[in-house]
Amino acid sequence: MQEGWTGSVRPGERIGPYTVLAEPASGGMGRVCLARSRGGRTVAVKTLLTSDDGIVAPEDRRRFAREAALAQRVQGPFTAGIVAADAEARVPWIATEYIPAPSLRDLVVSQGPLPAEAPPWIAAGTAEALVGIHAAGLVHRDVKPSNIPGNEIQISGDFTRNEADALVEELGG
């Protein structure tokens, strides 16, 4: 990474031990990059945005370090686990498991309205993820379609419907 780095990366550059493949998303507080470890594991790496001179505000760094520590407590089949993090890096980063799927938002934008069987399945998976987050004593503050992976939506007749019904019943629905 270059001197004065502000968190923007190009393919081939490194963040910690990861080589950047693409930068698919950016938001008000940070960027998310698709990256790969030396061993070939694909991860999503979240970095904080910095000022133009490459500085991370101390309050932002503390909040990011706390987020990394808290997120490591969350486990479950519908959450992306933390692989590694470095809140002390010049530009702090968190690497999570990569979910190779579009977000629910992108899925609906690209495919149009989903079949009637899909909403119960999506709701059940999202609810199970939130149960895991809450079991760790946390609250997710940004639940929205762009943060929900669409890869668990396997539209295949009764199997999907039955699987969703079972999950909803498990969750007390």
142 catalytically annotated: yes
| Structure tokens belonging to residue 71 | 């997120």
- Write down the catalytic residue from 86, 142, 158, 165: 142
C-alpha angle 132/92/131, rounded to 5°?
Answer: 5
What is the 3-state secondary structure of 24-40?
A: EEECCCEEEEEEECCCC
Residue 26, Cβ density class (10 Å: 0-12 exposed, 13-18 middle, ≥19 buried): middle
Active-site residues, by number, are 142
